[in-house]
Structure 1
Amino acid sequence: NVYVTDQNTRVQKFDSSGNFVLQFGVNGDVPGGFVTPWKVTTDSAGNVYVTDFFTNRVSKFSSGGVFQSTFGGLGTGNGQFQSGTAGVAVDSTGHIYVADPGNHRVQKFTSAGVFVSALGAPPGGSGNGQFSGPVGLAVDSSDNLYVADTGNNRIQKFDSAGTYLTQWGSSGNSNGQFTGQQGVSVDSSGQVYVADSGNNRIQIFSSTGAFLEACGSAGSADGQFSFPSDVATNAAATSYYVVERDGERVQKFGTAASPVANAGADQSVECAGATTSVTLDGTASTAGTGTINSYSWSEGANSLGTGATLAVPLPSGSHTITLTVTDTGGGSDTDDVVINIVDTTAPVINVTGANPMTVECHTSFTDPGAMATDACAGSLTVNTSGTVDPNTPGTYTIHYTASDGFNSASATRTVNVVDTTPPSISCPADIVVTLPPNSTATSMVVSYPAVSATDSCSSSVTVASSPASGSVFPMGTTTVNATATDAAHLTSTCSFHVTVLYNFAGFFQPVANPPTFNVVQAGRAIPVKFSLSGNMGLGIFAPNSPASGPVACSSNDPASNLEDTVTAGNSSLSYDPGADQYIYVWKTDPAWAGTCRQLVVQLNDGSIHHANFRFR
């Protein structure tokens, strides 16, 4: 039902369709009477409360219009009013709030009309909780009180204990501004309706004062207003009613359902570079009375674009993005979605070059390094630790690390410093020694210079020679083999010869030594004498020795007549211990007359001795 105060000193009651039901009230400042009825409200029991501008009183009636009680009166004390009793509202506990515009306050009473408390005080003001000629009042389902602070062109909100909560509005005709607003109402969903009387419109707000929409303009046509002085909503919040002081009528409106914005679920998206493409999706938003005609996306003050879906590039970090939707019914709504661009993937380190890497000992080493990349941060700096000593064989490890600020990665390179080069070895020159004089020895101790060896990677190189220096060497030539071994067990070899010779001093007379040619009668036997400084036995000749062969005769070569010959017989060898001489009797051939020959005596020590002969 709809109750309307009428300057004809009555209250009229209509059904929700505007059909007259009844009226009550009489003319005059009497119980149940009115002089200038102003505001009206009902409580949960259906009782009706009417304020009177002239009498400064509040009268209570049953829903059928039967007078029950009255309270108030002119004055500034508690329970008294100046410039009329204005807006009236009843909370869920039955407490009655009455606007006292002349005293710039709102008074609270029990259901029996007993004063409880007051908000504000004369002479009024513009601070929080102060008023300037408050007129309209409304109480929501949580018993919060809304006051149309008319002189300050604002709405103030208080809790049931009278504690100031918030305010909104200022003087003007823009959305959220007022000019002498006279009425306020709250529906069951918490939306606040304000009769913006001087601007001839109704404005609708959220319970916190966020502007939602406005309707109406000056005029007498449907939906227009001529000083709308109050507004009321039905219990279902599906309709609201506006009374016009100067238009002498009540208009009924259906409440336009606002759209509901849905920006989608919060997202965590893996970073894909300096910016990451993210698709914003508002298709789950629902329309209100009309159809959605606008989707706009923003981050803070920055507009990102429009559309039910929108792909946007976002840098790393957390982003709170707001979707604002509007519909053709004039409603709008917002919703936030949090997009977290996260980096949970570690960088990738690529080791440049061979891994493991082999380095020859005692060469230079340069680390080829490594490269690090990250899907989010791009190329990264690689930190390197570890050293390699290219002069010392072994296994070394180089460590590489990189971080993208959130995750880190590591890699290693194995460097094997190896020794594949054998040591360098040097043998002494061949050695020739003679047996000691006046001795029958056929071997002797020989000491030779040390074999030297070096290695670029090893400080310890061992050398083994065989036979060793200081060994007993037999007569003749012996090969000494030397082996050098480094720490890597690499070897090098060399060899040299040690030759032990008889103590041969040349041929004795009658045979002259080269280059002299000994002139002798062919067919004669020639005693070839020599000494080995001791009796070495008769097996001193090498096999097939002595032997002779032709040589060219030269007139320039010196010659010596050899007279000491013997009668030709078989060649023979003997030793004369008294003279310490060997005597080899060489049988010559008469056919050699007129030729030159060379006698070659090879001893079993390997030495070769010559004597030249010219035969006549």
Structure 2
Amino acid sequence: MKITNAAGRSWHFSHAIGRNTAEHNPGNPDLGDTGGFGSPYSLTIFDENTFFVVSRGWDTKLPEQIHDSYKRIGKVGLDQHHFGDFARNEFTWPSGITKSKNGTIFISDEFENLIKLFDPNKIVPYPEFSLETESIGSWGKFGKNPGEFNSPNGIQFDAQDNIIVVDSYNHRIQKFTSGGEYIMHWGKFGKNPGEFNTPWGITLDDNQNIYVADWGNNRVQKFDPQGKFIMTFGDENSNSGNLNHPADVAIDSENDVYVTDWGNKKINIYEPNGEIITSLYGDATELSKAGKNVVSRQLAWSQAYQHVEVEEFTKLGLFGRPIGIEINYNNTIVITDTKGRLQVYKKVKDFVEPPKNVKVLHPQ
């Protein structure tokens, strides 16, 4: 197991989930029900052991008679159990995902400039799909006026069950009721505090402070619940931990801040004050259950897998482009990786830094 230690904390790599596929492979006696993703983009924790993943798939919708099963929402367990998928061919560019207090799944489509709603319990077994809409509601339209969108991306609910939307190409943050009624917005294009350049991901801490991945400005900005600027970190003015087009942000139960550093292909972890702690680079050197499913049924792949060098496994384990990140209350960290998988880490606060200037004697 790969372990990253820093500042009295440990991050244990746990396992990978999924593979680059449109398939859902149920009933393997050894591996269970497995599946995968087509360019996994974002995710939301549904409960402590279950989450939903947005697969971006191809760039456009296909004709009605041809479904793009790579573009869909997957329901997956931390134990790698793949419950199934839904909303195939429902989107053009699905982006952010979150859930309301009653469990309804909300997903932003940055091309259609809509927020769409889905029943979390409705699964359409592979390879079936519905030509009729699976959405149970939607709202939003293109524009630059308050309440309108130009490429909605990251979305999160606050404690009042209002939804906060990153309106990327309008370079602002908007707040709505869960029914789509406009409440407020803040931000404009620029690089000064409180301004944005194509913001992307968003999260809230326990005090309802709002963190935004300011993609074009290479930084994360923090605001109070009313949108008042508090601080920024990760930009060129920071002492360390400089970001290169951050995509998403998440916070663990001890208020450490995790940022998917899309351009640098890593996860940066910061203290609450913005001081860098360490980075994760990806450690998925062992196949997921979904990957093992493929190897087990393809003789040629099985033979090739046995001859892969250790160095190649190390390279394969690194992140492609990390995008989405979510953390549950047990400090289990789940990251979407453009290599068609998720990577899972567990934070453990039991590491003790060795004293400085102390010799360690090794027995002969």
Identity of aligned residues (%): 28
CA deviation map 1:83-111 (0-9, x unaligned): x2111111111111111111111111112
Mapped pair 1:52 → 2:100 = no
What SS does the aligned partner of 2:174 have?
strand
Alpha-carbon contact 2:100-2:178 (below 8 Å) kept: no
More helix by share: 2
For the aligned residue pairs, the C-alpha RMSD in angstroms reads: 2.4
Partner residue, 1:603: none
Residue 263 of structure 2: SS of its match in structure 1?
helix
Match of 2:278 in 1: 213
TM-superposed deviation, 1:235? 2.2
Partner of 2:227: 162
2:118 counterpart residue number: 61
Letter in 1 for 2:169: G
AA matched with 1:49: F
The alignment status of 1:104 with 2:171, answered yes or no, reads yes
**What is the CA distance between 1:24 and its match in structure 2?**
1.6
Aligned residues: 257
Residue in structure 1 matched with residue 208 of structure 2 by the alignment:
143
Mapped contact 1:152–1:171 kept (Cα < 8 A): no
The 5 Å alignment of 1:431-442 reads none
Distance 1:192 1:44 in 2: 24
CA distances 1:226-266 after superposition (whole Å, capped 9, x unpaired): 111111111222x1011112x12111111242xxxxxxxxx
What letter is aligned with 2:184?
Answer: S
Pick the structure with greater CA Rg.
Answer: 1
Secondary structure in 2 matching 1:147 = strand
| Structure 1 segments unaligned to the other structure (5+ residues) | 28-32, 258-287, 296-305, 309-616
8 Å contact from structure 1 (residues 228, 242) kept in 2: yes
- Structure 1 pair 142/68, CA: closer, same or farther in 2 (3 Å)? farther
| Residue 192 of structure 1: how far off its partner (Å) | 1.2
Higher relative contact order (CA 8 A, sep 6+): 2
The answer to whether the Cα contact below 8 Å between 1:99 and 1:134 also exists between their aligned partners in 2 is yes
Match of 1:129 among 186, 194, 198: 194
AA at the equivalent of 1:75: G
Q: CA deviation at 1:18?
A: 2.1
In the alignment, the residues of structure 1 paired with residue 316 and residue 334 of structure 2 have an alpha-carbon distance, to the nearest angstrom, of: 13
* CA–CA distance in structure 2, aligned partners of residues 34 and 119 of structure 1: 27
Give the match for residue 240 of structure 1: 333
Equivalent of 1:251, from 308, 320, 343?
A: 343
CA deviation map 1:177-222 (0-9, x unaligned)? 1111111112232221100011111011122212222110699746
TM-score where L is the length of structure 1: 0.40
Secondary structure (helix, strand or coil) at the match of 1:151 reads helix
| Equivalent-residue separation in structure 1 for 2:260 and 2:251 (angstroms) | 12
Shift of 1:119: 1.6
Contact 2:240/2:275, CA 8 A, preserved across alignment: no
SS of the aligned residue for 2:169 comes to: helix
CA distance in 1, matches of 2:235, 2:179: 36
Deviations 1:149-170 (A, max 9, x none): 0111111011111111111111
CA separation in 2, counterparts of 1:188 and 1:115?
Answer: 30
Secondary structure of the structure 2 residue equivalent to 1:79: coil
**Which aligned pairs between 1:6-21 and structure 2 lie closer than 5 A?**
6=55, 7=57, 8-21=70-83
Aligned to 2:180: 113
Aligned to 1:338: none
The structure-2 alpha-carbon separation of the partners of 1:242 and 1:113, relative to structure 1 and needing over 3 Å to count, comes to same
Structure 1 residue aligned with 2:322? 228
How far does residue 45 in structure 1 lie from its aligned partner after superposition? 3.1
Q: Which of 292, 298, 304 pairs up with 2:353?
A: 292
Instruction: Specify the code of the residue in structure 2 equivalent to 1:3.
Output: F
CA gap 1:161/1:202 in 2 versus in 1, 3 angstroms: same
Q: Is the 8 A contact 1:134 1:150 kept in 2?
A: yes
Counterpart residue type for residue 254 of structure 1 = K
- Cα distance in structure 1, aligned partners of 2:74 and 2:142: 26
1-side partners of 2:246 and 2:317: how far apart?
Answer: 18
Alignment of structure 1 residues 152-551 onto 2, 5 Å? 152-171=217-236, 175-216=240-281, 221=315, 223-237=317-331, 239-245=332-338, 247-257=339-349, 288=350, 290-295=351-356
Determine the C-alpha separation between the residues in 2 that align with 1:294 and 1:17: 38
What is the distance in 2 between the residues matched to 1:143 and 1:249?
Answer: 30
TM-score where L is the length of structure 2:
0.66
Structure 1 or 2: more strand by fraction: 1
2:309 maps to: none
More divergent stretch after superposition (201-210 vs 159-168)? 201-210
Residue 86 in structure 1 maps to residue 153 in structure 2: yes
Question: For residue 95 of structure 1, what is the aligned residue in structure 2?
Answer: 162
Q: Provide the C-alpha distance between the structure 2 equivalents of 1:62 and 1:235, rounded to a whole number of angstroms.
A: 23
1:16 deviates by: 1.5
Long gaps (5+) in structure 2: 1-49, 58-69, 123-133, 284-311, 360-364
The structure-2 alpha-carbon separation of the partners of 1:79 and 1:227, relative to structure 1 and needing over 3 Å to count, comes to same
Contact between 1:153 and 1:178, CA under 8 Å: does it hold in 2? yes
Mapped partners of 1:216, 1:74: distance in 2 = 37
Going from structure 1 to structure 2, the CA distance change for 1:223 and 1:95 (only over 3 Å counts) comes to farther
Q: Is the 8 A contact 2:73 2:88 kept in 1?
A: no
The question of whether the paired residues in 2 share the 8 Å contact of 1:137 and 1:147 is answered with yes
Task: Tell me the secondary structure at the aligned position of residue 102 of structure 1.
Answer: helix
| Cα-to-partner distance string for 1:21-68 (whole Å, 9 max, x where unaligned) | 1322142xxxxx211211212233322221112211111223224733
Q: Which residue of 2 aligns with 1:73?
A: 141
Partner of 1:490: none
Distance 1:127 1:70, change over 3 A: same
Amino acid at match of 1:11: I
In structure 2, relative to structure 1, the CA distance for the partners of 1:161 and 1:174 (3 Å cut) is: closer
1:2 aligned partner? 51
Change (3 A) 1:177 1:76: same
Q: Which residue identity does 1:240 align to in structure 2?
A: I
Give the deviation of 1:115 after TM superposition.
1.0
Structure 2: distance between partners of 1:37 and 1:172:
33
